[in-house]
């Protein structure tokens, strides 16, 4: 077994202790005492009430599961929360089993609300969902959204007067409807405890930024631990073509995509009542 490098000025052992949580925990959790487990917990302790990944029928799977993977790789043990127990089917056909229902989850340290299309608009009209999110937000460390999940937070009134982003489609117009200060096309935006991200894959970057903030007391602004998580995910993206946001996309491709969303979503969107001042 190669030896731990002894020239480190920061504590390699400290990393190792934390990194144990990354992948070892699922295998060795049974062998650790409660106290040993506690020393592995992040500070601030977001495991007390936990990180809930909210899921609903028709949501975009990666909106939810990108952040879930980042948080779990960081050892933060996120779980899937649904309105009720059972399986939900994402827009891509993926069937996911709910781990905890609203009734099981009166409080969370971090909430992630994914987006989608028509089903996300339907979520904004579900008062049980909106009320649960408002209740969770009262005591959360972070309340976050990915992609059009911002429409749900917006309907709940949580974006009022706040800087916020969402997926690219009519971002400024839609965010204004929720009385947010639009930051269209920004990858993610922190405004107090409300964190919003751009479309789908931006949830990965947002979750990494949250991890960095959770570990920002480490003397290096959380950079080292975030790097460890990124290495574990080998998160050094390199798409085969340039693209991924409107400015980097061929104007005709952009226009076609915008038309498509206009065609099947815009009329629905316009039906939503404005949120109160």
> Which residue number, 240 or 276, has a Cβ lying nearer to a copy of itself?
240
Where does 195-250 have alpha helices with state H?
202-214, 223-232
**Closest distance between a copy of itself and the C-beta of residue 102, in Å?**
18
Q: Please say which residue, 58 or 157, places its beta carbon nearer to a copy of itself.
A: 58
Question: Which residue, 178 or 225, is less far from a copy of itself as judged by CB?
Answer: 225
- The 3 state secondary structure assigned to 101-128 is EHHHCCCCCEEEECCCCHHHHHHHCCHH
For the chain, give the number of residues: 277
C-alpha dihedral (75, 218, 54, 259), degrees to nearest 10: -120
Q: 170-177, long-range: CB within 8 Å, 24+ apart, which pairs?
A: 170/258, 170/261, 170/262, 170/266, 170/269, 174/150, 174/269, 175/150, 177/272, 177/274, 177/275
Indicate the DSSP class of residue 169: T
Q: What whole-number distance in Å separates Cα of residue 190 and Cα of residue 210? A: 9
Residue 213, SS3 per DSSP: helix
* Shortest Å, Cβ 202 to a copy of itself: 6
Judged by beta carbon, residue 230 or residue 275, the one nearer a copy of itself is 230
User: Among the options 64, 117, 147, 153, which is catalytic?
Assistant: 147
Minimum CB separation of residue 138 from a copy of itself in Å reads 26
Whether 221 is a known active-site residue: answer: no
Shortest Å distance, C-beta 145 to a copy of itself: 13
Q: List active site positions.
A: 147
């Amino acid at each position: 077994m190669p030896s731990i490098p002894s020239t480190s000025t920061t504590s390699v052992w400290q990393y190792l202790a934390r990194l144990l949580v990354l992948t070892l925990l699922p295998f060795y959790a049974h062998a650790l005492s409660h106290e040993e487990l506690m020393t592995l917990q992040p500070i601030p302790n977001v495991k007390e009430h936990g990180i809930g990944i909210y899921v609903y029928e028709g949501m975009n799977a990666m909106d939810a599961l990108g952040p879930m993977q980042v948080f779990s790789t960081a050892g933060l043990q996120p779980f899937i929360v649904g309105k009720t127990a059972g399986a939900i089917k994402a827009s891509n056909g993926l069937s996911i089993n709910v781990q905890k229902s609203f009734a099981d989850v009166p409080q969370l340290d971090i909430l992630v609300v994914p987006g989608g299309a028509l089903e996300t608009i339907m979520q904004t009209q579900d008062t049980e969902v909106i009320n649960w999110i408002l209740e969770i937000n009262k005591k959360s460390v972070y309340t976050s959204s990915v992609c059009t999940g911002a429409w749900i937070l917006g309907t709940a009134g949580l974006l009022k007067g706040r800087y916020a982003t969402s997926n690219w489609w009519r971002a400024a117009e839609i965010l204004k409807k929720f009385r947010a200060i639009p930051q269209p096309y920004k990858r993610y935006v922190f405004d107090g405890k409300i964190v919003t991200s751009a479309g789908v894959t931006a949830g990965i970057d947002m979750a990494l930024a949250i991890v960095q903030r959770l570990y920002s007391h480490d003397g290096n602004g959380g950079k080292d631990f975030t790097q460890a998580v990124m290495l574990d995910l080998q998160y050094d993206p390199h798409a085969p073509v340039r693209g991924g946001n409107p400015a980097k996309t061929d104007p005709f491709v952009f226009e076609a995509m915008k038309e498509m969303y206009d065609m099947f979503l815009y009329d629905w969107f316009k039906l939503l009542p404005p949120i109160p001042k």
